[in-house]
Amino acid sequence: MELLNVTGLVKIYSGRKVVDDVAFGVNEAEIVGLLGKNGAGKTTSFKVTIGMIPADAGRVIFESEDVSRLPMYQRARRGMGYLSQEPSVFQRLSVEDNLLAILEMMDLTRTEREAVAAELMRDFGLAHLARQHARTLSGGERRRLELARALVTRPSLILLDEPF
């Protein structure tokens, strides 16, 4: 089953096409990579796909639904996840609160949210850092927290932008 189908993606900044007619698809249980040199538009293609920035043209079909005009949070609620190449944790929140902040948007009880956060912290070797502020984490610990945050909503698709 096709999870994601992106066609005709165009993004223009200051009259310059930085993404020009990009198309790609992702099937269920498939890993797909976007390859290209620096400045080729890979990150911009991802940001348009997830709704972080608007496309100038193109369509994004996710799980057979046209989500092209939906905001990022609605795409996320439908199961589209994203891991940015830039640091993306809340620096002043604890490791646990970084996960709970995202879980607040889900239809879960407080107990369920805390259980999901505890499970992810355990899975990513962060449980002993639960109360530590994110700004004090090492680079590797921070990246593990970012990965846990990307998985916290249990997405059916994750776009990983330079994950390692």
> Are 61 and 99 part of one and the same domain?
no
pLDDT digits (tens, 9 = 90+) for 45-59: 999 999 999 999 999
pLDDT digits (tens, 9 = 90+) for 83-132: 998 888 999 999 999 999 999 988 899 999 999 999 999 999 999 999 99
Tokens of 58: 């193109």
> Are 48 and 102 part of one and the same domain?
no
Among 53, 78, 103, the domain boundary falls at: 78
Confidence tier at 164 by pLDDT (50, 70, 90):
confident
**Percentage of residues of the chain with pLDDT beyond 90:** 85
Q: Which amino acid is at 7?
A: T
Structural domain boundaries enclosing 134: 95-151
> Are 6 and 74 part of one and the same domain?
yes
User: What CATH number corresponds to the domain at position 63?
Assistant: 3.40.50.300
> Are 14 and 66 part of one and the same domain?
yes
CB 61 within 8 A of CB 78: no
Quote the CA–CA distance of 28 and 2 in Å, as a whole number.
Answer: 6
* Residue with tokens 């962060």, as numbered in its chain: 126
What is the reported pLDDT for 87? 83
Q: Give the chain's domain count.
A: 2
> Are 6 and 72 part of one and the same domain?
yes
pLDDT digits (tens, 9 = 90+) for 71-83: 999 999 899 999 9
